[in-house]
Amino acid sequence: MARQRLVVVGNGMAGLHFVEEIIARAPRGFDITVIGAEPVAAYNRVLLSALLAGEVAATDVLLRPREWYEAHAIELITDQTAEALDCRARQVRLQDGRTLAFDVLVLATGSDPVRLPIPGSTLPGVATFRTLADSAAFAQFAADGRPAVVIGGGLLGIEAAYALAQRGVSVSLVHVADRLMERQLDAEGAALLAQAVAAKGVRVLLNRSTAAILGRHAVEAVELTDGCRLACGLVIMAVGIRPRTALATLGGLSTGRGIVVDDGMQTSHAQVFAIGECAEHRGTCYGLVEPCYEQAKVAAAVIAGEPQRYRGTVFATNLKVSGVAVFSAGDFEGVGADSIIVRDVGMASFRKLVTRQGRLTGAVLVGDIRDALWYRDLIRCGEPVAPIRHALAFGRAFAEAA
């Protein structure tokens, strides 16, 4: 029986994880071709800020060397984008004119960084932070000794500012909201994070909006709406991402904010799947690694003939931001719910647990996150926690002993 032709558009973290899953489930079932837009094989995008900060080496960022693809008889095409999709003919055309036929297609096209539509946004020196090339360019900029401005106080913006500060750059972090990471942290947890970020050498400016980027031939300053001007030679915009759907639209696939998929990660065409940041499942697009990996696993199972269902992911953030451990999951604000709060000012530690009707529904941890995964699992399974509520804030070992 002839092997099916499987084409994967996107060699990011989601695309690679799908390939790992499919060869584990059906090692001889497909002739696999992977198309990557960047000149290098898949790497860990989460580590880009650590690479810029000098905390890891370039070799630590690479996920699989080219030899791995060769060993598994996978054709890896890099430095190429897919520019046209014909679902009826089951063909993908690359930018160099090549046409690839497929029996099954997986779109893992990722997302594009959003740029603010403000005056000066196209000046040289205005950048986003998404690729290895970006990290290398920022490292080179750091050697010049000029200040930088990062716009956006989400995870990526904080990490970019921290990494530049670690390189000795004078950095201002401008955020429109009243707190950092407002989608992942409550006010108190965010305030603790802001103090830690400032202690790393980053100037944090909250409740501030950018009016324009100034400069004749390149970036010279950022002007805020209150008239304040921040001199700089680099501006990094970290204000969000937009699912990359252009190829799917050309192919006539159903799209909303992202490429619309069902619980099996299938698009509106039965032989075309979408996973990762480009996919929209039940009205939600995910920008975190964990749901992207879960989607990749489900798509691989379905394609290999082992039907599974993706039912969505409870939002959970578990990471180290600017050297500070941070975790949040579920309904972390807890409006109208019961909250258990533990603070340790000396250790710069904060723990907030939200319960509704005897079940854990949200959590925020800053500093000490040793029990983060336990709290996440309790939120996801909906198991009653009323019997251990008095010990819940002190962690799994204490609660189980109690």
**pLDDT, tens only, 261-316:** 999 999 999 999 999 999 999 999 998 899 999 999 999 999 999 989 999 988 78
* Residue 142 to residue 240: CA distance in whole angstroms: 24
Q: What is the C-alpha separation between 151 and 239, in angstroms, rounded?
A: 7
pLDDT tens readout for residues 69-120: 999 999 999 999 999 999 999 999 999 999 999 999 999 999 999 999 999 9
Judging by beta carbons within 10 Å of its beta carbon (0-12, 13-18, 19+), is residue 302 exposed, middle or buried?
buried
Residue identified by tokens 């990660």 is: 265
For CATH 3.50.50.60, the residue range(s) in the chain are: 4-112+241-303, 126-237
Partners of residue 4 on adjacent β-strands: 30
Distance of CA 247 to the CA centre of its chain: 21
pLDDT tens-digit map of 189-240: 899 899 989 999 999 999 999 999 999 999 999 999 999 999 999 999 999 9
Structure tokens of 288? Answer: 């975190």
DSSP string across 46-108:
GGHHHHHHTSS-HHHHBSS-HHHHHHTT-EEE-S--EEEEETTTTEEEETTS-EEE-SEEEE-
Question: What's the CA gap between 288 and 348, in Å, rounded?
Answer: 26
The radius of gyration computed from the CA coordinates of the chain, to the nearest angstrom, equals 23
List where CATH 3.30.390.30 sits in the chain. 316-401
HSE toward the beta carbon, residue 255, CA cutoff 13 A: 18
Phi, psi angles (nearest 5°) of residue 162: -60, -45
Phi, psi of 106, deg, nearest 5? -120, 120
pLDDT confidence band for 1 (50 / 70 / 90)? low
| Residue 77, token pair as written in the block | 């095409």
Which amino acid is residue 49, in one-letter code? Answer: S
CATH architecture, domain 4-112+241-303 = 3-Layer(bba) Sandwich (3.50)
Phi, psi of 157 (to 5 degrees): -65, -45
25-37 residue pLDDT tens: 999 899 999 999 9
Return the CATH fold of 126-237. Answer: FAD/NAD(P)-binding domain (3.50.50)
CB 352 within 8 A of CB 189: yes
When pLDDT is cut at 50, 70 and 90, the band that residue 397 belongs to is: confident
Q: What is the spatial distance between Cα 322 and Cα 366, in angstroms, rounded to a whole number?
A: 12
CATH architecture of 316-401: 2-Layer Sandwich (3.30)
- The beta strand positions in 157-278, using DSSP E, are 171-174, 202-205, 210-214, 221-224, 229-231, 234-237, 241-243, 259-261, 272-274
**C-alpha–C-alpha distance, residues 132 and 167, integer Å:** 17
